[in-house]
Each structure stands twice: as C-alpha cells, then as structure tokens.
Amino acid sequence: MARESSWKEKFKYQDQRHLSKLEHLRQSNKEDLKKTKRTLKKNLAEVLPILQSNLVLHAQVAMSPLNLSQMHFKC
C-alpha cells in the first residue's frame, strides 16, 4: 500500500510539473508568435512599396519602350 501511494504521489507530482512546463511553453510560443507577426507586418510594410514600383516598371517596359517621364517616383 505504501509503495502504491508513493508511486501515485510521484506520478501526480510529475504530471503537475509537466503541465506547468507545457503551460510555460504555450505562453512562450504565444509571445513569440505575436513578436513574429509584428516583425512580419513591419517588413511587409517596408517591402510592398518597392515591390509595387518594380511591378509598375516591369509592366511599363513590357508594354512599351521604357519612358521614365511616365514614372511617378515617390521618394
């Protein structure tokens, strides 16, 4: 009986420790995900205008000879 009780207590203690570690990992992952989302939004905001200007330039070159007088440079 004492062995069984001791085993159950050890198991219960390990289970609680594992649940605690799991919760800590969940919180950490949640924070990392938020940080990654912020970084991604920032990077996209920086890159999208450049991508847009490249697409416009390529479209103009593909449709007709390059005429820079029709380009709208926003710097």
Confidence band of 57 (pLDDT split at 50, 70, 90): confident
Average pLDDT over residues 46-58: 86
Q: What is the 3-state secondary structure (H, E, C) of 26-41?
A: HHHHHHHHHHHHHHHH
Tokens of 21: 């570690």
* Contact between 47 and 41 (Cβ < 8 Å): no
Give the tokens for residue 47: 């890159």
Q: How confident is the model at residue 56 (pLDDT cuts 50, 70, 90)?
A: confident
Instruction: In whole angstroms, give the CA distance from residue 22 to residue 15.
Output: 10
Question: Can you tell me the distance from the alpha carbon of 43 to that of 38, in angstroms, rounded to the nearest whole number?
Answer: 9
